[in-house]
Structure 1
Amino acid sequence: MEQMKNNASRCTLIGDIVGSRGSVDRADLHRAVEAALRQVDDAVPSLTGLRVTVGDEFQGSYATLGEALDAGLRVRLALLPDVDTRIGVGRGSVTTLDPERGIEDGPGWWAARAAVEAAEEAAAKPATRHLRTALRVDASEDDSAVDAVNAALLCRDHLVGSCSERSIRLLRGLMEPHTTQGDLATLEGISPSAVSQRVRADGLGAVLAAHDLLRALP
């Protein structure tokens, strides 16, 4: 085995598929996830490649928290409404045990694992059933903003989880640069005013504003 590589503090993203065992066609699900990961990795390049690791899980590493949260939301929107994902982000150092197979370990990896588990646990409670994203940091990292970030993610995910299929498509479109509400109105076959109403009524504007603030985090 090649010598293990130590990576300085960074943000590790671990994601999994919600309810994947109930999928009728798991091969088709796997192809959809891989396509979404390629699309997101082009938009928000990761340090190690956003990739399927084992089973229904995927993983990527990012230099900043903002990039990891940006990628996580994009993956979710790329797969909704047919497939939902759960995202855990952990900050801390990571050791690459096997570069070829992408096997990693270390405080940052375990923090991301804990974040996935925290999101799953919260989603089992009625009041926080829409939560799909959580952040944890290694004990050696500054954790002063963790609670604030998780509070923002809780509110953002509630809005996303409450969206109709059309609103999900609109939100996905509005996250792309140079896409206007007029463009989306044409694609949806509705009026620009109808798009504007949905942006206001379904909180899409709030999701986008929160996303802009979160993805700017260092």
Structure 2
Amino acid sequence: MPEVQLSPVVLIGDVVASRASTDRRGLHRAVEAALADTNDRVEHLEPLEVTVGDEFQGVYPHLGAALDAALRARVVLLPHADTRYGLGRGTTTTLDEVRGIKDGPAWWAAREAIVAVEDQAQRAALGQVHTAYRLAEGERDEMGTAVAVDAALHCQDHMVGSLSARSGRLLRGLLEGMTQRELAEAEGISPSAVSQRVRADGLAVILRCHDLLRTLP
């Protein structure tokens, strides 16, 4: 059978409650630094860039890369602010190269996804959900991947959102390939204390979920 050519995946992100920040300039610098770091680590078709207000966007060749970028950007930014993400698979069009105006089904699907996240945030029980994935109309999903990905994201988001500041830093370090000994030295704690947090806070589970999700085509 001929190989099916999958459409790219658009990622739209924004900063939660950014207007409440007392240091808007510092927050903007932190966002730009986080996006640059993510762009260096994750394969992309179009890099993550700040667009208007507190929103940013990028385009990825496959779903796994988009999911990888979303988690990395969120974890890097957590000391400064929380962020939410909408991912959409479909075709894309550039209406204006100079002004960077994008259009097409993938963008509409990503926008639908991030609106769904915003709506869910109004319910206390789903307040930790920060990422959603949608398929554009006409995109095939014979294996039900979209539903399975959303289910995994609900669990991953809840675990990440429940982490303490220190455990969040440990998760970032692990995502960047640091060893537990290196993390212990950076935090000024013992390697056994790092190991205990990795187990007790589910960091190993988050990493395993992330490793599986980023293999998705």
TM-score, normalization by structure 1: 0.94
1:137 aligns with 2:135: yes
Distance in 2, matches of 1:215 and 1:159, equals 17
Q: CA deviation at 1:166?
A: 0.2
Identity of aligned residues (%): 61
- Tell me which of 86, 91, 97 is aligned to 2:89: 91
Q: CA deviation at 1:126?
A: 1.5
What does 1:192-207 correspond to in 2, within 5 Å?
Answer: 192-207=191-206
Q: CA deviation at 1:45?
A: 3.2
Contact 2:86 2:117 in 1 (8 A): yes
In structure 2, the partner of 1:110 is: 108
In structure 2, the partner of 1:174 is: 174
User: What does the per-residue CA deviation read over 1:119-172, in whole Å, with 9 as the maximum and x for residues that have no partner?
Assistant: 111122111111110000112112321111000000000000000000000000
Q: Which moved more, 1:91-100 or 1:59-68?
A: 91-100
Contact 2:30 2:80 in 1 (8 A): no
In the alignment, residue 164 of structure 1 is paired with which amino acid? S
In the alignment, residue 54 of structure 1 is paired with which amino acid? V
In structure 2, the partner of 1:16 is: 14
In structure 2, the partner of 1:29 is: 27
Distance in 2, matches of 1:91 and 1:162, equals 29
Give the ranges of 4+ consecutive aligned residues of structure 1 lying more than 2 Å apart after TM superposition. none
Partner of 2:140, secondary structure, is: coil
Contact 2:27 2:80 in 1 (8 A): no
Distance in 1, matches of 2:67 and 2:99, equals 24
Query: CA RMSD of the aligned region, Å?
Result: 1.1
User: What does the per-residue CA deviation read over 1:76-122, in whole Å, with 9 as the maximum and x for residues that have no partner?
Assistant: 01111221100100000011111222210111000000010111111
| Unmatched 5+ stretches in structure 1 | 1-7
User: What does the per-residue CA deviation read over 1:153-201, in whole Å, with 9 as the maximum and x for residues that have no partner?
Assistant: 0000000000000000000000013x11111011111111110110111
TM-score, normalization by structure 2: 0.94
Distance in 2, matches of 1:66 and 1:96, equals 23
Contact 2:163 2:201 in 1 (8 A): yes
Q: Which moved more, 1:180-189 or 1:25-34?
A: 25-34
Partner of 2:90, secondary structure, is: strand
In structure 1, the partner of 2:152 is: 152
Distance in 2, matches of 1:87 and 1:100, equals 25
